């Protein structure tokens, strides 16, 4: 006769390293990939660093600083942008999303709210508003200057796992921490106005009137490079470069049934870096801009994150900040 097991699985509490929630787990929780009941991120005993005094200068990508310096050197740019935002009115952005997207709160999509809190407490940023909008293009953005808001497209969060969603939210919070919002909002207005259905709106005329072609060009050139800084901010929150790498892999190829090999994707990123010397990179950036992309290519972003991790700079920030 079979003996019935009388052994009772022991349970105990583990505090979530990301959001601090106390979770009751079974002894074998690590093998079962238990997740936190609040933020849905994986539970573990590993520490998670929250930065006490992180400055944007600690992680800003040199290409971002250089492009920003070039942008700021254009006479009259700041007053032109202020005027543009006064006219277009950032309150309109909030009204638009409150009317057409889901606002994330402690009760609405609480796990997304908890992830936003994790990103904000890790980098030291006041909580912005977060919205989810139904949209087939996998994208996310931050807009507004006085009170910035973050918008995630539904197709983006549908494709990513919880750690990768944290990476995307952290990237957007990075734009706020890095004080990108004024230039970013202006650049997004230019991009929006350039789209055909919107071109007839008065905003397109206002932009042309207020901003010279040199200003518009410099803003868009800076915007792509600013992404590289915010990928670093995302790494400072996820504290795992492969979460960033896998997010980029999904942005690159989407999610489909065929098994995509992450190691081969990393190899592709390293190969990309090797084949592009400084001279070719200049040409590459020109291509990115001409292609009208809002973000630089994902493979390039992965190779940049790997380079930063391998430089030891990221480790140093974890230890000293
Ligand atoms: Zn948690
Ligand atoms: Zn971005």
DSSP symbols for 41-105: PBP-SS-----SS--GGGT--HHHHHHHHHHHTSTTHHHHHHHHHHHH-HHHHHHHHHHHSEEE-
Residue 246 forms part of a structural domain? yes
Residue 159, in any domain of the structure: yes
* Phi, psi angles (nearest 5°) of residue 83: -60, -45
Distance CA 45, CA 306 (A): 25
Tell how far the Cα of 28 is from the centroid of ligand 2, in angstroms.
38
129 and 262, same domain (yes or no): yes
Please report which ligand is nearest the Cα atom of 39: 1
Other Cβ atoms less than 10 A from the Cβ of 133: the count is 18
Is the same domain home to 26 and 148?
no
Residue 3 lies in a domain: no
210 & 297 share domain: yes
Q: Is 172 among the catalytic positions? A: yes
Ligand 2: centre distance to CA 160 (Å): 17
Q: 218 to each of 70, 73, 82, 186, 301, how far by Cα in Å?
A: 7, 10, 16, 11, 20
Of the listed ligands, the closest to the CA of 18 is 1
CATH number for position 44? 2.30.30
Check if the beta carbon of residue 222 is closer than 8 Å to that of residue 67.
yes
CA angle 247, 252, 253 (to 5 degrees): 105
DSSP-assigned beta bridge partners for residue 137: none
Same domain? 55 vs 20: no
Q: Is residue 259 part of a domain?
A: yes
- How far apart (Å, rounded) are the C-alpha atoms in residues 144 and 93? 7
Range of the domain at 265: 49-320
Neighbours of 139 (CB within 10 A): 16
Tell whether 2 is covered by a domain: no
Find the 307 Cα to ligand 2 centroid distance in Å: 19
Q: DSSP code of 35? A: B
Neighbours of ion ligand 2 (CB under 5 A): 227, 230
The residue written with tokens 């008065």 in the block is: 202
Query: Quick one: 187 and 233 in the same domain?
Result: yes
| 18 and 145, same domain (yes or no) | no
Burial class (CB in 10 A: 0-12, 13-18, 19+), 129: middle
Parallel, antiparallel or unpaired: strands 149-153 and 140-143: antiparallel
Distance CA 280, CA 304 (A): 15
Domain check: are 16 and 65 in the same one? no
Tell me the C-alpha distance between 12 and 26, whole Å: 6
**Which one of 90, 163, 164, 172 is the catalytic residue?**
172
229-283 confidence digits (pLDDT tens):
999 999 999 999 999 999 988 887 766 656 778 888 888 888 877 776 556 666 6
Measured in Å, residue 25 CA sits from the centre of ligand 1 at 13
Say how many domains are in the chain: 2
| pLDDT (0 to 100) of residue 108 | 97
Asked, for residue 1, whether it belongs to a domain, the answer is: no
- Predicted pLDDT at 317: 94
119 and 37, same domain (yes or no) = no
- My answer on whether 255 and 300 are in the same domain is yes
- Candidates 225, 35, 39; CA nearest to 119 is 39
Shared domain for 112 and 255, answered yes or no, is yes
Closest-lying ligand to the alpha carbon of 170?
2
Q: Tally Cβ neighbours within 10 Å of residue 89.
A: 10
Q: Are 142 and 130 in contact (CB under 8 A)?
A: no
Choose among 77, 68, 18: nearest CA to 43. Answer: 18
123 and 94 in a common domain: yes
* Same domain membership, residue 117 and residue 30: no
**In the chain, which stretches have pLDDT less than 50?**
1-3, 5
CA of 227 to the centre of ligand 2 (A): 5
The pLDDT of residue 96:
73
| Residue 2 pLDDT | 47
Whether 21 maps to a domain, the answer reads: yes
């Amino acid at each position: 006769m079979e003996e019935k097991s009388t052994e009772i699985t022991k349970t105990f509490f583990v505090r979530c390293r990301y959001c601090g929630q106390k979770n009751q787990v079974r002894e074998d929780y690590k093998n079962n990939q238990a997740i936190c009941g609040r933020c849905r991120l994986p539970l573990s005993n590993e520490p998670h660093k929250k930065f006490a005094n992180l400055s944007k200068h600690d992680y800003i990508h040199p290409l971002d600083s250089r492009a920003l310096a070039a942008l700021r050197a254009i006479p009259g740019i700041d007053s032109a942008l202020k005027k543009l935002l006064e006219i277009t009115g950032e309150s309109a952005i909030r009204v638009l999303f409150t009317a057409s997207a889901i606002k994330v709160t402690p009760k609405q999509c609480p796990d997304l709210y908890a992830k936003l809190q994790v990103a904000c407490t890790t980098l030291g940023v006041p909580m912005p508003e977060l919205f989810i909008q139904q949209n087939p293009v996998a994208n996310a953005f931050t807009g507004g200057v006085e009170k910035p808001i973050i918008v995630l497209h539904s197709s983006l969060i549908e494709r990513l796992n919880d750690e990768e969603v944290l990476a995307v939210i952290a990237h957007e919070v990075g734009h706020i921490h890095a004080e990108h919002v004024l230039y970013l909002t202006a650049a997004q207005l230019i991009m929006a106005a350039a789209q055909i259905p919107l071109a007839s709106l008065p905003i397109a005329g206002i932009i042309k009137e207020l901003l010279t072609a040199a200003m518009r060009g410099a803003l868009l050139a800076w915007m792509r490079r600013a992404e590289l800084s915010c990928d670093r901010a995302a790494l400072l929150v996820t504290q795992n470069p492969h979460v960033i790498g896998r997010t980029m892999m999904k942005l690159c190829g989407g999610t489909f049934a065929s098994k995509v090999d992450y190691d081969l994707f990393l190899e592709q990123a390293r190969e990309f870096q090797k084949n592009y010397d400084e001279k070719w990179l200049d040409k590459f950036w020109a291509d990115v801009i001409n292609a009208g992309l809002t973000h630089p290519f994902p493979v390039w972003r992965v190779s940049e994150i790997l380079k930063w991790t391998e430089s030891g700079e990221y480790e140093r920030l974890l230890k000293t900040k």
